Chains A and B, each alone.
Chain A
Amino acid sequence: MKATRRDFIKSAGIATGAIAAFPTIIPSGVLGADAPSKVLNLACVGVGGMGGSHIKQLKGRSNVRIRAVADVDAVFAQNAANTINRQYGNKDCKIFGDFREVTRDKDIDLITVATPDHWHALPAIDAIRHGKDVYVEKPLTLTIREGQVLVSELRKHNRIGQTGTQQRSTEKFHFAAELIRNGRFGKIGHIDVLIPANNMFVGAEWKPEPVPVGLDYDFWLGPAPYAPYTSQRTHYQFRYILDVAGGQTTNWGAHYLDIAQWALGMDESGPVEIDGHGVFPTSGLFTAPTRVDVRYKYANGVTMRMRTRTDGVYDGNIIFYGDKGTLNVSRRKLVADPAALLNEKIGDGEVRLYNSRDHFANWIECCQTRQKPVSDLAIGHKTTNLCNIGNIVMLLQRKLKWDPVKEVFDGDQMANRMLQRSMRGPWSLA
């Protein structure tokens, strides 16, 4: 007979919010410079799909030690701890339900955040305020205001923060961005960004369901407005519900718009005009657009259009159109017209972009050297802004002017009220 969730939790000795007992962790700051604890102590907040991927990438590194995991789903947390314990050959990994147990643990140096989007900002901010460096998954935040507070706190507390836009640590995208920056394709007039269509669908109706044992649903909801539990709301599918995420606009837009910003040299700015015409479900649980179509215009005249691709490919694509050629780059390919432009070498006297080939390694190294990483949170915030204002204009279906420095819309009360959201108590950005 298949074990039930209840059986599993009972046998694993887990109770929601329970704290296991462990050996003492020696914080890296206590030991001397030559001590083997150039190893940094790390905890993971959110250890589901993406968080599990983080653990796979981090557990084998000699300069970090994963000491604890925090997840509102006790099964996810236990699975993650098992993986970590197998790696280290012990049973030392702590398990928590409440992220504050790790973000406020003085023995922890680093925090990764791989929760649903509505939970990116608060754990990262809490970690920063308690002296941790952070790695936060994309999209960086659910709202513009969250991003502003996150970046402000990062600088105020002099911490290191990396956004999970790992394409910046990929040779193909790095080379593409350098080619564009150094004018190999001439003056760029337009950029096309294609993002995948939704890969999950629900019917027109849903019903509240009992919360499964081991899931702290109230904590899962956190700052989001109340809605009863349904299995279709949580885990992977949260990303199609605008109360907690931004659909494919943020899920994939955060990756490919990031490359556009990088290539254009707009990491500290953004577009000044934006127009959108998305298609949104009018019934059922999902509220994120099923068809994305957003047009951006930068002050220098460059236009960019992000839209849902219709060829069934589950990857993004970015195509730069310049007056000397076209460059098409995705995770799968790098194609240029004329093709010879891919043989170009970028010289020493030219614009050289931040060179990282391992996104986590770059972050960890920067935590030790105190240099900004390749996807510093401020950069991730500017990219995420494009995604979030994209969703706003698609909802409003009107062309708006955007101030990328002040981060407000020009003269639209409704749009500006969408830049932040009320948080369900006890949570707040204050």
Chain B
Amino acid sequence: MADDKRAANDPLAGVKPDQRQSAFKRTADPWIEIGRVNYGGDRTMVSTVERVVLDADASQYPGFEKKLLKVATASDCTECGYGFICRLLALIGSDESVEILKAKLQDSSEVIAHSTRMVLEGVGSDKALAALKAAQPGIKGREAEGVAGAIKRMS
């Protein structure tokens, strides 16, 4: 349709061709929304990212890992979102995830701490084992036994 024939309520009415893309409102970015999901909330965006990661070629893992880590370490990442992200990092994560997340093994939230441990157990590398051992003395409560069990299994 020619630009000068558009109806007044057409979103593209009066928009020059080279400005079309920026004229539309931005839709939610699943890679950002995954860090904002709450328990019981809409997990459609999480499912979208999950599908992308599950379908990825192994050569794409490092790039996706970086994207996930960026969201996981954002200050506004929810506990629920962190859990979802860690499940995916457990599948594609590397020693980079171990290095960036290991401090959270001692998080005051047992949920965050276990989610982090999930990543390290998934990576399963010597570095992951070393990080678990290093964190062990500072971990209390249920996670103390969880970490001990993970170390025993991975050793």
| A contact set with B: CB distance below 8 Å | 204-208, 225-228, 230, 280, 282-284, 395-397, 413-414, 417-418, 421-430
Contacts and interface: CB of A to CB of B under 8 A. Distances in A.
A430 B40 contact: no
B40 A422 contact: no
A283 B91 contact: no
A282 B43 contact: yes
A225 B54 contact: no
Contacts of B36: none
A430 B153 contact: yes
B149 A423 contact: yes
Contacts, number: 91
B152 interface: yes
B54 A430 contact: no
Contact of B117 (A282, A413, A422): A422
Contacts of B7: none
Nearest to A282: B47
B4 to A, nearest CB: 41
Contacts of B141: 425
A422 B90 contact: yes
Interface of B is mostly: helix
Given A226-B110, A397-B54, A425-B110, A205 B146 contact: no
A426 B47 CA distance: 29
A428 B114 contact: no
A430 B154 CA distance: 10
B33 to A, nearest CB: 13
Contacts of B47: 280, 282-283
A207 B41 CA distance: 8
Interface in B115-147: 115, 117-118, 121-122, 124, 141-147
A226 B39 CA distance: 10
B44 interface: yes
B145 A413 contact: no
**A226, A422, A424, most chain B CB atoms within 10 A:** A422
Nearest to B147: A425
11 contacts: A205-B40, A206-B40, A225-B87, A226-B114, A280-B47, A414-B92, A422-B121, A425-B145, A426-B144, A428-B150, A430-B149
Interface of A, helix, strand, loop or mixed by DSSP: loop
A395 B54 contact: yes
Nearest to B80: A227
Contacts of B44: 282-283
B149 A417 contact: no
Contacts of A282: 43-44, 47-48
Contact of B149 (A208, A228, A395, A427): A427
Interface residues of B, number: 37
Interface string B102-113: 000000001100
Interface in B39-58: 39-44, 47-48, 54-55, 58
Nearest to A424: B114
B119 to A, nearest CB: 9
A414 B91 contact: yes
Contacts of A427: 145-146, 149
A425 B114 contact: yes
A204 B42 CA distance: 7
B148 interface: yes
B122 A205 contact: no
Contacts of A284: 43
Contacts of A204: 42
Contacts of B81: none
A210 to B, nearest CB: 14
A126 to B, nearest CB: 13
Given A225-B87, A428-B148, 6 more contacts: A228-B40, A282-B44, A284-B43, A395-B54, A426-B144, A430-B152
B83 interface: yes
B149 A413 contact: no
B83 A225 contact: yes
A421 to B, nearest CB: 8
A230 B40 contact: yes
Nearest to B146: A425
B147 A413 contact: no
A284 B114 CA distance: 23
A7 B118 CA distance: 40
Contacts of B48: 282
Nearest to B112: A226
A225 B117 CA distance: 11
Nearest to A395: B54
A418 B115 contact: no
A216 B55 CA distance: 38
B149 A425 contact: yes
Given A417-B90, A422-B122, A208 B144 contact: no
Interface in B77-95: 83, 87, 90-92
